[in-house]
Structure 1
């Protein structure tokens, strides 16, 4: 992997420093969130119906969501900036493929993926860089391939930075994020907003789209 921009290197280092603690917290991250599991199941059904290639979880962390997608019947692999996270993912799920890489510059040919899950993985990108991420997602997706993007929603406000436990992150108005995805070549299939649980601060947004 080529040298990362400074903010990406800082993000990788921040997650690497907290990787073991983060992995412990995330281990059962979907257990108490039926709506999150439902939107992942809808994504999996769309990806299986298209059958256009393997699915990638971009920003996979310790790999728990990647494993969940495998359990939903997908041919899936994970990619993350942090080598420490990838080591943990490989240790926890030796039957799955995990790679170190940046999701804004994927080492993949055009149209080779049958689906992408970005599960809270674009949240640290500066707002002006989000169009570049969506453009890269569209490049590597086969036509019709689904994209699921999970993020922190701004609850009626503008794009706003906040003090994420690892490093600075951003909350997005769901309409604004959907508009940027549309400009990059995606068609919205559906959306889900989930109110925060008692130990969460912010509303969660989920956009399910497919590549034109």
Structure 2
């Protein structure tokens, strides 16, 4: 993905980082959009990752998370590097909402979303 992004936008800054320990100073972002990335964080690491998100956000910033519904964790058949995660962490909405509140977030909106049947993943190019 980084190779593609750098080719498409050579003047932009891209970096591969661990969501549990981002390499940014505190209060630098007005928002975080984590679509189909946070689900690769093992549940045991979800709270530290969310706290890291909160740390790099400016006061009043917002987060948009897209998560996969379910219970537990599900391996995916790839040989991922250890810091990428174990597969898919599945979340029920009340479970995630409770974790977000425990990390100091105020929930503005949460909803169960059903993408196109049998095509649950999206690649979107935003301009």
Gaps of 5+ in 2: 79-85, 122-127
> Within the alignment, does 1:162 sit opposite 2:74 as a pair?
yes
Bigger relative CO (Cα 8 Å, ≥ 6 apart): 2
Q: Distance in 2 between matches of 1:199 and 1:165?
A: 18
Q: What SS does the aligned partner of 1:192 have?
A: coil
Q: Mapping of 1:23-34 within 5 angstroms?
A: none
Gaps of 5+ in 1: 1-84, 203-212
Q: What SS does the aligned partner of 1:188 have?
A: coil
Q: Give the match for residue 199 of structure 1.
A: 118
- Structure 1 residue 200 displacement after superposition: 3.3
TM-score by length of 2: 0.78
Q: Give the match for residue 179 of structure 1.
A: 98
Matched positions, count: 114
Runs of 4+ in 1 over 6 A off after TM superposition: none
> Within the alignment, does 1:94 sit opposite 2:10 as a pair?
yes
Higher helix share: 1
- Structure 1 residue 165 displacement after superposition: 5.7
Asked if 1 retains the 8 angstrom alpha-carbon contact of 2:27 and 2:59, the reply is: yes
Q: Distance in 2 between matches of 1:194 and 1:164?
A: 22
- Structure 1 residue 162 displacement after superposition: 2.5
Q: Distance in 1 between matches of 2:63 and 2:100?
A: 10
When the two chains are superposed, the root-mean-square deviation of aligned CA atoms in Å is 2.0
Match of 1:188 among 107, 114, 117: 107
